[in-house]
Amino acid sequence: MKPYLIAPSLLSANFAKLGEDATAVIEAGADMLHLDVMDNHYVPNLTFGPLICEALRKYGIKAPLDVHLMTRPVDRLITEFANAGATHITFHPEASDHVERSLSLVRKHGCKAGLALNPATTLNCLEYVMDKVDIVLIMSVNPGFGGQTFIPSILDKIRQLRVLIDESNRDIRLAVDGGIKSDNIAQVANAGADMFIAGSAIFHHSDYKAVITNMREQLAEG
Ligand code: DX5
Ligand code: ZN
């Protein structure tokens, strides 16, 4: 198993001081930043585009930027986010007419390519693209909003995906996004996840370092 990664979702950060919040959470021990891009079309919410990614880079953020596209379509934004400094780009298979092409486009730009699976999306869509993905992101809430409750039945899906990844012998991260907190992170890890996206649990706490340290302790205790 690879080292665990904790990726705070900036969706719950203070947008009026995004650079400071991003810096603070990295200094508090986060491995990377998760950027939720919503288009008021694929999901019923609207956030930001590549300019924010570029602004974070210009501000001096060096950490990996994990862009989660909740947009339809995806290809043009893949190129724009890659040019704006993204290191990881994940999209939803329902949002691309040509999933293999979109995954290849992400890698062509030198980024890690991810597929995000909604709670009701089956693992079948991975069957012919396991060699094209670096991350499979399991949504443990329906995409669109921070602060939702983790859907418990997703644990079974994580277990099934862990088997698929191990059987493939490929270097693929199993990420989980939505409702992750200190009190369920170990359970999610035990089901097979190795990358954890958390927004409200981190940014709605006054002490980012305390939460991230607590999450790592929970992961270490198992
Ligand atoms: C939901 C986003 C998540 C969200 C997680 O559509 O993809 O990244 O910000 O937020 P929490 O951790 O609050 O559920
Ligand atoms: Zn996300």
Q: Which range marks the domain in which residue 99 is found? A: 5-221
Q: What angle do CA 187, 221, 117 make, to 5 degrees?
A: 30
**What's the burial of 105, exposed, middle or buried (CB within 10 Å: 0-12/13-18/19+)?**
buried
Q: What average pLDDT does range 147-166 have in this prediction?
A: 98
**Which residue is closest in CA terms to ligand 1's atom 1?**
143
Q: How many residues does the chain have?
A: 222
CB contact at 8 A, 159 and 138:
no
In ligand 1, the atom with minimum distance to the C-alpha of 38 is 6
Q: Tell me the CA–centroid distance for residue 83 and ligand 2, in Å.
A: 20
Catalytic residue status for 156: no
pLDDT tens digits for range 95-128: 999 999 999 999 999 999 999 999 999 999 999 9
Q: Cα separation of 35 and 201, whole Å?
A: 16
Q: What is the CATH number of the domain that holds 199?
A: 3.20.20.70
Total tally of structural domains belonging to the chain: 1
CB contact at 8 A, 71 and 38:
yes
pLDDT tens digits for range 12-26: 999 999 999 999 999
Task: Say which amino acid occupies 48.
Answer: F
Question: What confidence score (pLDDT) does residue 97 get?
Answer: 97
Q: How confident is the model at residue 2 (pLDDT cuts 50, 70, 90)?
A: confident
Question: What confidence score (pLDDT) does residue 138 get?
Answer: 99
DSSP result, 31-80 = S-EEEEEEBSSSSS-B---HHHHHHHHHHT--S-EEEEEE-SS-HHHHHH
pTM of the complete model: 0.98
Q: Tell me the CA–centroid distance for residue 78 and ligand 2, in Å.
A: 15
pLDDT tens digits for range 31-66: 999 999 999 999 999 999 999 999 999 999 999 999
